[in-house]
């Protein structure tokens, strides 16, 4: 199954901690469904990355755009297909 890298660029750091619990709950739920391969923040604080497992780019975009960080404008999404 294809993998997709959702690069989440920090846009509104002042809101990061407020929406972090919702972001982590969202990803935990998807991880339990087998939809997340890996996730984590960048060491420099500029954002983070989630590797989604999806059938298509459209499906991966739907998953990534459902992240509360993206919905609330805390992070800007850049989505790319990732080859393992």
Domains of the chain: 3-82 (3.30.70.1060)
| Residue 47: CB atoms within 10 Å | 20
Using CB atoms within 10 Å of the CB of residue 77, give its burial: 0 to 12 exposed, 13 to 18 middle, 19+ buried: middle
Contacts for 71 with CB less than 8 Å, ≥ 6 apart: 65
Decide if 52 contacts 6 (C-beta within 8 A).
yes
Decide if 46 contacts 9 (C-beta within 8 A).
yes
Q: 4-32, pLDDT tens digit by residue?
A: 999 999 999 999 999 999 999 999 999 99
Task: Using the Cα atoms of residue 84, residue 40, residue 75 and residue 66 in order, give the sign of their dihedral.
Answer: positive
What pTM was computed for the model? 0.94
Q: 32-72, pLDDT tens digit by residue?
A: 999 999 999 999 999 999 999 999 999 999 999 999 999 99
């Amino acid at each position: 199954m294809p993998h997709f890298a959702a690069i989440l660029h920090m846009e509104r750091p002042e809101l990061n901690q407020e929406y972090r619990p919702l972001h982590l709950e969202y990803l935990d739920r998807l991880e339990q469904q087998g939809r997340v391969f890996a996730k984590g923040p960048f060491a420099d604080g500029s954002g983070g990355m989630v590797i989604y497992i999806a059938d298509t780019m459209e499906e991966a975009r739907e998953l990534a755009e459902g992240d509360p960080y993206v919905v609330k404008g805390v992070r800007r999404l850049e989505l790319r297909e990732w080859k393992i």
